[in-house]
Structure 1
Amino acid sequence: MWADPGGGRRVVLAHPSPDVYGSDLQLAESVRGLVEHGWLPTVVLPADGPLRPLLEERGAEVQVSDFPVLRRALLRPRPLAGLVLRAPATVWRLRRLLRASGARAVYVNTLTIPLWVVAARAAGLPVLCHSHEAERLARPARLALTAPLLLSDVVLANSASTREVLTSTLRRLARRVVVVHNGVPDPGPPAPPRVRGAGEELRLVVVSRLSPRKGIHVAVQAVALLHDQGLDVTLDVCGSTFPGYEWYERALRDQVGDLGLTDAVTFHGYVAPTRPLLEAADVVLVPSFGESFGNVAVEGMLAGRPVVASDVQGLAEVLEHGVSGVLVEPGSAPALAEAVAALDADPALAERLADAGRQRATSRFGVDRYRALVAFLVAQVAGDPVPVSAAPARPGSATAGSTPSRR
């Protein structure tokens, strides 16, 4: 199970989901970077799913072992109390697993599996936690998610917004948090935007999990407003629900029916790869109420299409308003519709934004930089003699000096 032909460079990565969305795809890039720099990654998932073959293709060993994941449904007093009661037994089991692994370090991907941080420390192993969350939860919930990070040697935040949320919750984290923007793969030069004929519909696309926080209902309402203005607009919705959020998909379908948009809105379910649908669109929408980073926005930019996104958190770091995309008030269907109508009325503007967006995405959010930086930080945590000069250059707030102190 834990064969290590590489002379003790095993790293165990714990991840909360077997699906293939933003943080899941980022884990695949972390694995690729570790393999490229001589590490032997073993990823532990709570269930089997489509992420497993993706990780194995990138060189990881994948193990399935049941462990609790802090979904929103658990962040209530009674479920959370039950989790706390079961925590000692879970930590003991994960500690045994880690001790048997021969790992030099543990990489915990997201805040939603805090018992892995505790187990790593109990096993005497250095631990890096990668935070993809920037939600403004109630303070007790934020403390429950954030407090285990005090046991981490390094906290990798995927945006300055994520770092601010973490450090505003616990100021003591400031010295150990490093901002590393996501690296998003570029499939290559995009197909040219289509030339729309007279009277041909304007195609919009949303790619995301189906959950209220992602704001798909706002996009549907914006389509209705555009239809009221006499514009022929269609919307492709690509994504599936988290377990327990099936009600939201039903509500979206009811909304589409009630607004008379059945012929204009198409639900595709989970789609991979997304590039063909992004290229088929005229405008990419990211109407989220909150995003710690925004991989889909970058994917839309790489696809050479103008992106209209909510002016929130990480999305405001990904896009520069009026230069490489358009940022609008979150939750405002009129603002979203107005931005889309402006791009429809000014094809030259849409082309400029798309060109600048692709240039920004390739220069700031490339996978080579990301992979090298993750491997560098894991080496630091594990105590490998990696000189500071080996740290790759990083734009913006991402900096690599000595490993942040745990004291």
Structure 2
Amino acid sequence: MNTRRVLVVHPAADLYGSDLQLVEAVRALGMAGATVKTELPESGPLHDYLHAAGASTDVRRFPVLRRSALSPRRVIPFAASLGPAVAAAADLLLRARPDVLLVNTLTIPWWILAGRIAGIRVVVYAHEAEAGRGRLVAAGLAAPLLAADRVIANSGATTRVLTADLPGLIDRVVTVPNGVPDTGEPAPLRERIPSDPMRCVVVGRLSPRKGTMVALEAVATLRARGIDTTLEVCGSVFPGYEWFESELRARKEKPDLAGSVRFHGYVSPTRPFLEDADVVLVPSFGESFGNVAAEGMLAARPVVASAGLGLSEVLMNAPKTGLLVPPGDPAALADAVETLAADPALARRIASAGRAEALARFSVERYRRDFARAVLDV
């Protein structure tokens, strides 16, 4: 097999969903015989994971499109940084001459232009299918993909959103659903009776669109109904979103939640927190896939998630494999948890069916084969 050289650019060095999926992607490319180098804009724990997966890594500062960058105060300096960023990226590509440039996520689209300038095959790995965007904004964000040779979407939901905004992408999009590693047989779901306390967990970025506040309000609702419920919150914020964490922490100190919510910051691995829970909450307003939901299923814990986009795809056999509720509805989220609290046997059946489903549909073996084929065009 001829060795192919792949340069991967990624917008962060954390260990959240798209970061960990990149590790699986790198492993897939290495197993297919490619050599992989990654460029990240910062230092962080992801470097060690990428090294373990067989990639070399480098820190190279480049702009990343975040909502905070588009504020009135920041948008002009951010825009001014793009020209030099494209020039520097093109220079790197012209010197390195990789066979493939893999641009991971839609938040660094100037790398696509740099790849075109350098005459490199460009593959974009799309993890974004966010709900609630205006059609014009969505099309604008997706438009740079028209300059890519191939777009890999992490779910059918992502494919549908991207091609609805830009039908011209249809012929170049390949759907490769995420592969989620299973860390082994989980501890059994805790034995409980309906009157026992309920332990909930939410894992992910502390962000309005992740629905963290919805989870807190749902717990407050449950406690108001007389159901002793606690919530473990695992996650941290992007720089610029510290205000949201402050709001969450202020909310948890109010009398109806006092003592029932704990913040743990970023955690890795997440499996111990998932296994300690009676139910895994995924209250996001829009996920392109929803790795946490799949991880909760693999941990054999009942998952309650927001309906729509990728989460409905992960829990496509709900209510057998998990429960879906309307996004942004704390009362509905509380109702679902209350249903599981009142019927431990149902919770156990959902947990068992969810694990079996996740093992069957989200195996890393299937993912590695399909992803490498899409990137390397073999």
TM-score by length of 2: 0.96
Which residue of structure 2 aligns with residue 352 of structure 1?
A: 349
Which residue identity is paired with 2:52? Answer: E
Which residue of structure 2 aligns with residue 71 of structure 1?
A: 66
Distance 1:289 1:264 in 2: 24
2:328 is aligned with 1:328: no
**CA displacement at 1:228 relative to structure 2:** 1.3
Which residue of structure 1 aligns with residue 164 of structure 2?
A: 168
Which residue of structure 2 aligns with residue 367 of structure 1?
A: 364
**CA displacement at 1:261 relative to structure 2:** 1.7
Q: Spell out the pairing of 1:105-144 with structure 2 (5 A cutoff).
A: 105-135=100-130, 136-144=132-140
**CA displacement at 1:190 relative to structure 2:** 0.8
Distance 1:262 1:51 in 2: 35
**CA displacement at 1:374 relative to structure 2:** 1.3
Distance 2:108 2:73 in 1: 18
Contact 1:8 1:104 in 2 (8 A): no
Contact 1:158 1:179 in 2 (8 A): yes
Which residue identity is paired with 1:311? Answer: A
Which residue of structure 1 aligns with residue 217 of structure 2?
A: 221
Deviations 1:360-391 (A, max 9, x none): 101111111111111111221xxxxx3xxxxx
**CA displacement at 1:200 relative to structure 2:** 3.6
Distance 2:255 2:30 in 1: 50
Distance 2:266 2:31 in 1: 30
Which residue of structure 1 aligns with residue 55 of structure 2?
A: 60
Contact 2:194 2:342 in 1 (8 A): no
Distance 1:293 1:197 in 2: 33
2:180 is aligned with 1:147: no
Distance 2:77 2:137 in 1: 15
Contact 2:174 2:374 in 1 (8 A): no
Contact 1:75 1:141 in 2 (8 A): no
**CA displacement at 1:315 relative to structure 2:** 0.2
Contact 2:193 2:344 in 1 (8 A): no
Q: Spell out the pairing of 1:4-403 with structure 2 (5 A cutoff).
A: 9-75=4-70, 79-135=74-130, 136-196=132-192, 200-319=196-315, 320-380=317-377, 386=378
Identity %: 53
- The structure 1 segments of at least 4 consecutive aligned residues displaced by more than 6 Å after TM superposition are none
Contact 1:162 1:292 in 2 (8 A): yes
Contact 1:8 1:102 in 2 (8 A): no
Which residue identity is paired with 1:88? Answer: G
- Residue 284 of structure 2: SS of its match in structure 1? coil
Which residue identity is paired with 1:254? Answer: A
Distance 2:105 2:152 in 1: 10
Contact 2:194 2:343 in 1 (8 A): no
**CA displacement at 1:253 relative to structure 2:** 1.0
With 228-237 and 138-147 compared, the bigger mean Cα shift is at 138-147
Distance 2:375 2:285 in 1: 32
Distance 1:144 1:18 in 2: 26
Contact 1:13 1:107 in 2 (8 A): yes
- Residue 249 of structure 1: SS of its match in structure 2? helix
Contact 1:44 1:62 in 2 (8 A): yes
**Structure 1: gaps of 5 or more residues:** 1-5, 381-385, 387-407
Which residue of structure 2 aligns with residue 394 of structure 1?
A: none
- Residue 237 of structure 1: SS of its match in structure 2? strand
Distance 1:117 1:321 in 2: 38
With 246-255 and 132-141 compared, the bigger mean Cα shift is at 132-141
Distance 1:43 1:143 in 2: 28
Deviations 1:220-251 (A, max 9, x none): 11111111111111110000011111111110
- Residue 177 of structure 2: SS of its match in structure 1? coil
**CA displacement at 1:77 relative to structure 2:** 6.7
Distance 2:126 2:194 in 1: 47
**CA displacement at 1:313 relative to structure 2:** 0.7
- Residue 292 of structure 1: SS of its match in structure 2? coil
Deviations 1:6-53 (A, max 9, x none): 965210000001111000000000000011111111010011111110
Contact 2:101 2:123 in 1 (8 A): yes
**CA displacement at 1:82 relative to structure 2:** 4.3
Distance 1:228 1:293 in 2: 33
Contact 1:224 1:259 in 2 (8 A): no
Which residue identity is paired with 2:258? Answer: T
- CA RMSD after TM alignment: 1.6
